[in-house]
Amino acid sequence: MARGWESKSVESQQEESFRESEQRDFQQLSPEERERRVRRASLELSRARTLDQLEHATGAAHRAMLKRTLLALERDIAELG
Protein backbone atom coordinates (compact mmCIF):
# COMPACT_ATOMS: atom_id res chain seq x y z
CA MET A 1 0.00 0.00 0.00
CA ALA A 2 2.83 2.41 0.81
CA ARG A 3 4.27 1.73 -2.60
CA GLY A 4 1.07 2.87 -4.30
CA TRP A 5 1.06 6.06 -2.24
CA GLU A 6 4.65 6.85 -3.23
CA SER A 7 3.84 6.16 -6.85
CA LYS A 8 0.92 8.59 -6.76
CA SER A 9 3.06 11.21 -5.04
CA VAL A 10 5.73 10.93 -7.73
CA GLU A 11 3.08 11.11 -10.44
CA SER A 12 1.60 14.21 -8.82
CA GLN A 13 5.02 15.85 -8.63
CA GLN A 14 5.70 15.05 -12.29
CA GLU A 15 2.36 16.54 -13.34
CA GLU A 16 3.03 19.69 -11.32
CA SER A 17 6.48 20.03 -12.85
CA PHE A 18 5.02 19.61 -16.33
CA ARG A 19 2.35 22.27 -15.68
CA GLU A 20 4.94 24.71 -14.34
CA SER A 21 7.12 24.10 -17.39
CA GLU A 22 4.19 24.72 -19.73
CA GLN A 23 3.30 27.90 -17.88
CA ARG A 24 6.88 29.20 -18.14
CA ASP A 25 6.95 28.40 -21.85
CA PHE A 26 3.61 30.15 -22.34
CA GLN A 27 4.83 33.27 -20.54
CA GLN A 28 7.93 33.45 -22.75
CA LEU A 29 5.82 33.66 -25.91
CA SER A 30 5.06 36.94 -27.60
CA PRO A 31 1.65 38.44 -26.80
CA GLU A 32 0.50 37.64 -30.33
CA GLU A 33 1.51 33.98 -30.04
CA ARG A 34 -0.18 33.69 -26.63
CA GLU A 35 -3.36 35.15 -28.07
CA ARG A 36 -3.18 32.74 -31.02
CA ARG A 37 -2.79 29.74 -28.71
CA VAL A 38 -5.64 30.85 -26.47
CA ARG A 39 -7.83 31.41 -29.54
CA ARG A 40 -6.96 27.97 -30.92
CA ALA A 41 -7.73 26.28 -27.59
CA SER A 42 -11.07 28.08 -27.49
CA LEU A 43 -11.91 27.00 -31.04
CA GLU A 44 -10.94 23.39 -30.30
CA LEU A 45 -13.15 23.40 -27.21
CA SER A 46 -16.04 24.80 -29.25
CA ARG A 47 -15.41 22.12 -31.89
CA ALA A 48 -15.53 19.35 -29.28
CA ARG A 49 -18.76 20.75 -27.83
CA THR A 50 -20.29 21.03 -31.30
CA LEU A 51 -19.33 17.44 -32.12
CA ASP A 52 -20.97 16.27 -28.90
CA GLN A 53 -24.14 18.20 -29.71
CA LEU A 54 -24.12 16.78 -33.24
CA GLU A 55 -23.97 13.23 -31.88
CA HIS A 56 -27.11 13.85 -29.84
CA ALA A 57 -29.06 16.06 -32.24
CA THR A 58 -32.18 14.53 -33.77
CA GLY A 59 -33.75 17.33 -35.81
CA ALA A 60 -32.58 17.72 -39.40
CA ALA A 61 -32.39 21.53 -39.23
CA HIS A 62 -30.46 21.42 -35.96
CA ARG A 63 -28.02 18.84 -37.37
CA ALA A 64 -27.51 20.97 -40.50
CA MET A 65 -26.78 24.04 -38.38
CA LEU A 66 -24.30 22.09 -36.24
CA LYS A 67 -22.54 20.76 -39.36
CA ARG A 68 -22.16 24.30 -40.72
CA THR A 69 -20.83 25.43 -37.35
CA LEU A 70 -18.37 22.53 -37.31
CA LEU A 71 -17.10 23.41 -40.79
CA ALA A 72 -16.62 27.05 -39.79
CA LEU A 73 -14.73 26.06 -36.63
CA GLU A 74 -12.49 23.67 -38.55
CA ARG A 75 -11.76 26.39 -41.11
CA ASP A 76 -10.85 28.85 -38.35
CA ILE A 77 -8.60 26.28 -36.67
CA ALA A 78 -6.85 25.56 -39.98
CA GLU A 79 -6.27 29.29 -40.53
CA LEU A 80 -4.50 29.53 -37.19
CA GLY A 81 -2.14 26.79 -38.31
Summarize pLDDT for 53-69 with one digit per residue, the tens. 999 999 999 999 999 99
- Predicted pLDDT of residue 2: 53
Q: Is the dihedral of CA 49, 52, 56, 62 positive or negative?
A: positive
Alpha-carbon distance of 43 to 49, in angstroms, equals 10
Q: How confident is the model at residue 3 (pLDDT cuts 50, 70, 90)?
A: low
pTM for this model (two decimals): 0.65
- Predicted pLDDT of residue 11: 76
Q: How confident is the model at residue 8 (pLDDT cuts 50, 70, 90)?
A: low
Chain segment 67-79, per-residue pLDDT in tens: 999 999 999 999 9
